[in-house]
Structures are given as C-alpha cells and as structure tokens.
Homo-oligomer: A and B are copies of this chain.
Amino acid sequence: MNYALYMPNVQTPSLTVDVDSDVSIVQQIVNGLRGALVRGDLAPGDSLPSSRALGRDLGVHFNTVAQAYRMLEAEGWLALKRRAGTVVRERPNPALEDAENLALTDSFKKELLDLRTRYQALGVEREALDSALEDLIETRRISK
C-alpha cells in the first residue's frame, strides 16, 4: 500500500512508502525526505510533521518515522527537539578530501553498474535504461 505526504513548498504529494518493497521502510522514508531536501522542496526553517502524524499518514509506526528523522539528523538535515517537533536545518554541503571524493565516486560507479545490470538482466531494453540515464542528466542540467 502507498500513502502520501504533502510538503509545505510543493503541490504534488511525495513520500510514498511501499511495504512490499525490498528496501526497508526507514530507508524509503529517508530516501524520500532526502530527495525533497536536496531538491529544495523542504527548505531550512520548514517544519516536518511529527513522527506520530507522519507515521499515521504513511501507515507505519511512529518509531519507524522517528528513526528516519534521526538518520537525517545525523546527516545534518534536520533538528529534532522534544515537543517543538522537527525542523529543517541550514546544511552546507559537506567538503570532502580528494581521497574520499574518489572513493565515493568509485562506489557510485559500482552501484550504478550493478543497478543497470540488474534491470538489464530482468529484460528491460538497453535503450530504455540509457534514456533514463540521459533524462537524469538532462533534468539536472535544467533544474540547476
């Protein structure tokens, strides 16, 4: 089942959770919120729903949401305060050492390759995957 959350700065619903997915619910929430944060749909100063409210909307336990919030807090995106709720923080992009940067880029390439290979093995045509890759690059060019 999928549920939706409405962001303060965007009209279309985002943050859906698929209980049947093989990626954990916490990770799905983290991915969805991180995407909104990177896109700017959630901006510094914005308040997020309480873990209980979001858990209710998503159909999961509030502790599951709370854990996702804490992971995003650890990444520097959110500030969590008791009773006051969860707020988006100002978050400068982390500066990386060259070595870290190279290592991360390599990991990215490896994950990317595995991802593409997996869908290719499932029978998706090369052209469809290629154009999805192109689309991602293009989208980024336009949006920035």
Chain A, interface residues (CB within 8 Å), range: 35 or more
Q: If A95-B123, A112-B136, A133-B137 touch, does A105 touch B128 (CB 8 Å cutoff)?
A: yes
Q: Is A94 an interface residue (CB 8 A)?
A: yes
Q: Which residues 93-143 of A have a CB within 8 angstroms of B?
A: 93-96, 101, 104-105, 107-109, 111-126, 128-130, 132-137, 140
Residue pair B144, A124 in contact (C-beta under 8 Å): no
**Contact A132-B115, Cβ < 8 Å, known A38-B120, A123-B93:** no
The smallest beta-carbon distance between A37 and chain B, in angstroms, is 8
Chain A residues within 8 Å of B, Cβ to Cβ: 31, 34-35, 37-38, 75, 77, 93-96, 101, 104-105, 107-109, 111-126, 128-130, 132-137, 140, 144
23 A-B pairs within 8 Å (CB atoms) are namely A31-B114, A31-B117, A35-B114, A37-B121, A38-B121, A75-B121, A93-B123, A96-B122, A101-B123, A101-B125, A104-B123, A104-B124, A105-B119, A105-B129, A107-B119, A108-B115, A108-B119, A108-B124, A108-B128, A112-B112, A116-B136, A126-B144, A133-B133
